[in-house]
Structure 1
Amino acid sequence: MRDRGGVAEVFRTARGFGSSPLYSHLLGVVADDPGLIELAAQTRAGQQPTFALFGAVHLLLLDGSNDPLAEYYPSVVGDRARPVDARTGPTFARFCTAYADQIAAILATRLVQTNQVQRALVTRLGLALLRRVTSAPVCLVEVGCSAGLNLRADRYAFTVGGTTVGEPTSPVRIAVDVPDAHLLPALEPVPRIADAVGVDLDPPDLTDADDRAWLRALVWPENAHQATLLRAAMTAVADDPPRVLRGNIIDIGADVAASLPPGVPRLVVHTATRIHVPVAQRPAFDTVIAAFAADGPMLHLALEDDHRTAPSGRPGIGLTATDSTGSRTIAVADGHLAWLEPLPELGARDVTP
């Protein structure tokens, strides 16, 4: 079981829940309740207890648990959902007590494996940056890919800055608020993907109803648009899933890199993945990622740099690009990619794979 004091601190200091008034309120409720902290401490090592506990409760509610707590979840009762009030916290705590065994079982067996499909824009942006410097096919690697939905970024439609690019008939249609979109590279055409591979500790199976339900539960209750995108992407990708390998990138990264065609440019992406890597293992994680450049030119994009402020003043997460010349922050984005603000550094120079 994890250190309870550390778990309480995670709930007390958590950021980035602005799109969920319910979860924003419940963070403080959990932080101040020893019983809830005891339950959240059963989250598996390396996993964020905030996402895990809230996802487990959401899963039970979506599965039909007939409880007054459901009245606060738009994902369950729609527009009839009650706003946060004085009863929200006690109702949540009572639910967790009543369903403690079921919640503990979920925390013991599930990983936080969000597939925020909006984040596919990061992959599309990486492909566009490579296209500026090479017309060659590229290899795409995503670390912490969950079910691999974002590995199909070349098959989705994107509306950015009032312009739609990508596959016009795709059922997966991603719209992102991007001020100063002129700073972005041209998002089409993109290079042909010679190979796409994802790595995940425990990849969900899109043909398994329980796995699909868990991915749905990890979408926050108020975020109906993200849930719609997720359903569309799961349906589309299930028909032609990318290659997804089970394992820890620290252990299998060298084998994954060796499986790629030598000399072919590679785009390595991870979004909100490193945060789930235990702190002691992060240097090894970084070393393995860097080693993908040994057998071919690499562009590495990471949406992981927390506590950044966008030019507009919005708090967000930094998108970092690393190539043979070094690393720089090229944009600040909402964690779920509802918006992305490019920085001048994005257009300051081409990548150098």
Structure 2
Amino acid sequence: MPASAAEQAVRAAFAEQAGWCRSLGSPLTALVCDLLAERPWPESVVARRLSEWPGDPRPSGDAVPLRLCGGLHAGVRSGALSALAECYPPHVLPEREQLGSAIDEAIVLPALAECLDRPPQTNEVGRANALFAGALAFADRFPVPVVLFELGASAGLNLRMDRFGYDLGGLRTGDPASSLQLKPAWRGPPPPDSRVEVIERRGVDLNPLDPVTDGDRLMAFVWADQADRVAQLEAALKVARTHPVTLDKGDAADWIEARLAEPQRAGTSRLVYHSIALQYFAPESQQRVAAAIERSGKAATPATPIGWLRFERSPDDQDPTLRLRSWPGGQDRLLATCHPHGGTINWLGGARGR
């Protein structure tokens, strides 16, 4: 029987996701996606939902492949999928038939269908490498205590970026006693050796997660064969449990308009930032976010500066870029190009550059 148009679209989405996983260094997740794109799905609730998916299953849409891959990884981590666990680390990359059979066993479990109800949600702490370097550049220009506002904060792990330790191109910075020590592959000069003094931190997300109760969910969406990312997230969750932050549930545009309308104390700065989040905002929300920040920027003074730090990928960029716009003045600087997960930083911002 020919596959429905919906099933064909879902299979194409798995094939597309396989390409992304392979290019980003996860051969295991790429193989899982290959098999789900190619093999017949055993009759099950999961198969029926996949073949009747009503929306856009692509990675840029409903991200159906990552939903299911997250569910499979969660089952491995919980011990519910023992056959599949034999194919996951610490075991070596399995043969296609072994992995395919294990996936077939998992798909027929009705409980697995629940993962299709939840969009993937990550909190990639490797991006803190770039974000903290950008915060150093902002603090270099405006050396005053800073209030952090993060849009699309997920569990707020990167709101604690000053609680992590770093080696950024030879510059040792951040918290040397932190359980999370980050050292990206760094090209170019180090960022400014400035001080980031955070006096307040707030974040917003449509569905904020709690590092204590939702840690397993976050871990499930990290690709299992990327041991460094797994270890980084485990360490960041430990930091988060010790250092709570305020996360609000809501629309980013509504939220930042309200936050920036609040009085700013003289002698403090504000840094608004987001990482691989803007693409998920509705076009109207993107425009409102930009307009709110620019309005606040026009009102900024040397005693009340504001910065806008963006770790995002635009259609014209091969890799995500790190850009910092700051006021007074509205200067916009391309600071770096980055690996999407933050593990490689090509720093362009120079050591100072006021």
SS at match of 1:72: coil
Q: Distance in 2 between matches of 1:331 and 1:116?
A: 18
Q: Distance in 2 between matches of 1:120 and 1:105?
A: 31
Q: Which structure 2 residues correspond to residues 257-296 of structure 1 after superposition, within 5 A?
A: 257-259=260-262, 261=264, 264-277=268-281, 281-295=282-296, 296=300
Contact 2:311/2:321 (<8 A) preserved: yes
The one of 250, 254, 260 aligned to 2:253 = 250
Q: TM-score, normalised by structure 2?
A: 0.80
Change (3 A) 1:201 1:121: same
| CA offsets 1:98-127 (integer angstroms, 9 cap, x no match) | 12x32331331x342212222112321222
Query: Structure 1 residue 164 and structure 2 residue 172: aligned?
Result: yes
SS at match of 1:267: strand
| CA offsets 1:60-110 (integer angstroms, 9 cap, x no match) | 111111432222211xxx2xx1314231552354144212x32331331x3
- Match in the other structure for 1:201: 206
The one of 154, 158, 162 aligned to 1:154 = 162
Contact 2:168/2:191 (<8 A) preserved: no
- Match in the other structure for 1:340: 345
Name which one, 1 or 2, has greater alpha-carbon Rg.
Answer: 2
**What RMSD, in angstroms, separates the aligned Cα atoms of the two structures?**
3.1
| CA offsets 1:258-296 (integer angstroms, 9 cap, x no match) | 34626643222211223434xxx1342242244134334
Residue type at the aligned position of 1:274: L
Contact 1:318/1:333 (<8 A) preserved: yes
Change (3 A) 1:338 1:157: same
Q: Distance in 1 between matches of 2:13 and 2:279?
A: 12
Contact 1:137/1:194 (<8 A) preserved: yes
CA shift at 1:59, angstroms? Answer: 0.7
Contact 2:6/2:54 (<8 A) preserved: no
Contact 1:151/1:242 (<8 A) preserved: yes
The one of 214, 218, 233 aligned to 2:217 = 214
Q: Which structure 2 residues correspond to residues 91-110 of structure 1 after superposition, within 5 A?
A: 91=101, 93-99=103-109, 101-108=110-117, 110=118
| CA offsets 1:21-70 (integer angstroms, 9 cap, x no match) | 01122333333457569439489996433322211111111111143222
Report % sequence identity.
Answer: 26
Change (3 A) 1:47 1:243: farther
Count of residues paired in the alignment: 328
Q: Distance in 2 between matches of 1:69 and 1:238?
A: 31
Query: Structure 1 residue 132 and structure 2 residue 136: aligned?
Result: no
Query: Structure 1 residue 318 and structure 2 residue 321: aligned?
Result: yes
CA shift at 1:9, angstroms? Answer: 4.2
- Match in the other structure for 2:239: 236
Q: TM-score, normalised by structure 1?
A: 0.81
- Match in the other structure for 1:85: 95
CA shift at 1:328, angstroms? Answer: 5.2
Runs of 5+ unmatched residues, structure 1: 310-314
Change (3 A) 1:174 1:16: farther
Q: Which structure 2 residues correspond to residues 22-33 of structure 1 after superposition, within 5 A?
A: 22-32=28-38
Contact 1:125/1:187 (<8 A) preserved: no
SS at match of 2:293: helix
